[in-house]
A = this chain, B = another copy of it.
């Protein structure tokens, strides 16, 4: 059994009608497991924030998260959200989309990585890729210039299969 893949994450662009509650539940369960293995603490607050991030179908801003969090925790303030997000990002459970000043649940949190994102400008649905060809193309050119890569940000906007005409 050379390829014992873990259960596959949702397809890059899930059907608009998919059972998103299930995505959320799976993501939370995975997060619990990973944090358990790592000795990281997925506290009530962090779990709530992660759940809110996942409940959004696309990237969601910190202040939108804050609004939603306040329904659960009346005293929530900006640092409440930002601190939780910081930990979640450290654990690779959430990614930041710089272009949008927004956050999204990581589709492949098992191993640390930096995602590559395809962001639909119409419906907001965002697919996370982890495409070696892209990373290699960047790495190769950087190396040729003597540049030692630390972090790669790849954020692509456009129209997802459901939104594009034709």
Interface string of A101-129 (1 = CB under 8 A from B): 00000000000000010101100000101
CB distance from A142 to the nearest CB of B (A): 6
CB distance from A139 to the nearest CB of B (A): 9
Q: Which residues of B contact A151 (CB under 8 A)?
A: 156-158
CB neighbors of B among A139-165 (8 A): 140-142, 145-161, 164
* Size band of the interface chain A makes with B: 35 or more
**Distance, CA A98 to CA B102, complexed state (A):** 12
CB neighbors of B among A16-43 (8 A): none
Q: Which residues of B contact A149 (CB under 8 A)?
A: 118, 156-158
